[in-house]
Structure 1
Amino acid sequence: MIAIERKLMNIKIKTYYLATEDIRKGDVQAHLIGYTHSLIPKSSLRRFDTIQFDLRKDENELLMEMNKATRRQIKSALDRGFTHVIVDNPTDQELMDFQEFYNRFAKDKGTHTFNSYHMQSMKLLREQNALMLTYMQDKDKNILSYRIYMTDGIVALNLYSATHFRIVDDRELKKIMSQANRLLIWKTMLWYKEKGQLVYDMGGLTDDENIRKFKLGFGGKIVQVYSGYEPQSMIGNIIMKVRDLKLKLLKGLV
């Protein structure tokens, strides 16, 4: 488990990543307690499925858990001579480079961008030597796929991933990017295995059937995890009520 603290307009937020034990209210001096990928069931948090891989298994066993299509894509990517780059504790500039790449992807996909709040979270994780950035590039050093991970020394969790697959029109380039992305996951999984991590967590399984199919193609085990916030004070309660109202307005429920 890793915890980070921050203040936002004098509102203190403490966020726990990969919690394996309950954080009792009153034990933490903060207006809000945040949970990311907690294994502790709580009705106040959002429950969702993630997919995890046991890195104690040998390389061949992990490979054979994948479906044939995924193994074939990885083999094709290996034949292309891509370069896998690992950046432990990335610099501010390296994080900004990722931010620019990711936000182009997010804009096209219509999802949330990587904003200043997320950037601060990454820097706080970096301070605890818990952050890693990685990417796959072609022979011309063009970045094809990017990912950011955090780890508590036991579980390596994929926090963000991005490719420009949707942006390009060229069919062959789309295929190359798809192969590079799969190889990036595989190479990173093996890197964490070599570092002695026990679990590789690919991140949440969404309702998007294409993303779900993509992730399940690697094998692994589906695990339920919990994320969200719990108020610790009157201010925290007000913040959560305002947040819930905004979400309802966005969904047209008010």
Structure 2
Amino acid sequence: MKTNIIYGLVLATGFLLASCDTESIKVSNEVSTREYSFTDFDELEVSGDFDVFVRFSDTEESITVEANTNVQDRIIVSKGENRLRVQLENRVSIRGNATLKVYITTQNISSYRISGDSFVELENVLLSTNVSINVLGDSRFLGEVDTNNLLIDINGDSEVDVFGEASRLNADLSGDSELRDYDLSIEDLILTLSGDSIAFLSVANTIDVNATGDSELNYRGEAEIVRQRLSGDARINKRD
């Protein structure tokens, strides 16, 4: 019993110290912009409640952060190898009406990792042979793609709304995640669903699906289901 009490006190002390180490910032009313000059990246990683808007251009390169002035110094924009990262400093929490927006103009970003209640929107079509989108932690992705190989991984309460064309889609959805919509045209689909996840897709050729829990695939098109493994309340619905 004494050991359990001591263990509990140690845990409580640890939690208290962790909370004391977190700095809470009430945002200012003033909003300012800051420019960054990183180039030669084709991957993007975002975390920490940012809204990011990406535009593709063969002639322009720019990164602009629009944020509350007293938060600008706590925003980290960095580049490692070919990956651009946008995040808040560790152990910083934001209070008030926060503005955390990032505007990126670049030639190509084909790989995305989005987390921490962040949002990424493509403002024009992404043309790339391979595209990878990883979204987790109550985050969202919106955009048009034209690609041969599309890889999507979604978990938590996250959502990917992607439209355009993909020759092949390999997607893994878990938790309460959602992949939509029917205006994404796919030739061949490999899909794994679990938890309460749901997908809405248009498929022309083949479907290979593994679904568990209360997950659901809704599809349009004349695709042949070449393999299906369903368990729990998982289901497939043809919606033409």
TM-score (norm 2): 0.25
TM-score (norm 1): 0.24
Indicate the structure whose relative CO is greater, using CA pairs within 8 Å and at least 6 residues apart.
1
- Normalized per residue, the structure richer in helix is 1
